[in-house]
Structure 1
Amino acid sequence: MILEVADIRIQPGRQAEFDAAIQHGVNTVISQAKGFAGFKVNKGIESPERYLLMIWWETLENHTVDFRESPAFQAWRGIVGPFFAQPPQVEHFELLAKSA
């Protein structure tokens, strides 16, 4: 299992719109992608324009190839991209340890 973490910064004052858009985009586009295994979105308290989108994929290629090279990626960007203040920082992680 691979965890994708996207650190997203949006334009100030657009949090309510983005809250709806990101949930809509994940639920209607990303959740249909090959290898999608779940997601979580956290929004900043001290930095209200900052969001952390965490998506679990079965393999790295499910994100980097199957999704990012598909028309679905453009659909996703069409939903959330207009809110970005800068391009998201995206990294991938493997689980090392977790609590019981």
Structure 2
Amino acid sequence: MILEAAILQVKTGTETEFEETFRRASAIISSMKGYIFHELQRCMEAEGKYLLLVQWETLEDHTVGFRQSPQYQEWKELLHHFYDPFPTVEHFEKVTL
């Protein structure tokens, strides 16, 4: 399993609309092959800053299965205009201790 992490900086004044739209967009990502869970966290110190975490079965489920799908185009149309700057997305794997 891998964890996708993205810091989302949402344009000032659009936070409420972003959160409402994100709720609708959640149905898209949660329907994808390899999806396990996701959560969106709002930063307490910085206005308009969010942390998106998505767990996938494999890296390819996100980078190929989701990002190269028609569903991603819909996700992109719903959400990408809220971001400034565009977020950096990174992937993490669990370290066994």
How do residues 1-100 of structure 1 correspond to structure 2 at under 5 angstroms? 1-26=1-26, 28-97=27-96
SS at match of 2:30: helix
For the aligned residue pairs, the C-alpha RMSD in angstroms reads: 1.2
Provide, for residues 43-72 of structure 1, a one-character-per-residue CA deviation record: whole Å limited to 9, x for no partner: 111112111100000000000001001111
Give ranges in structure 2 of 5+ residues lacking alignment: none
Letter in 1 for 2:34: G
Q: 1:78 to 1:96 in 2, by over 3 A?
A: same
Give the whole-Å Cα distance in 2 for the aligned partners of 1:19 and 1:97: 34
TM-score of the two chains, using structure 1 as the length reference: 0.91
Percentage of identical aligned residues:
38
Give the whole-Å Cα distance in 1 for the aligned partners of 2:88 and 2:48: 14
- The size of the alignment, in residue pairs, is 97
SS at match of 2:73: helix
Letter in 2 for 1:71: P
Q: CA deviation at 1:93?
A: 0.3
Give the whole-Å Cα distance in 2 for the aligned partners of 1:43 and 1:97: 28
TM-score of the two chains, using structure 2 as the length reference: 0.94
Letter in 2 for 1:10: V
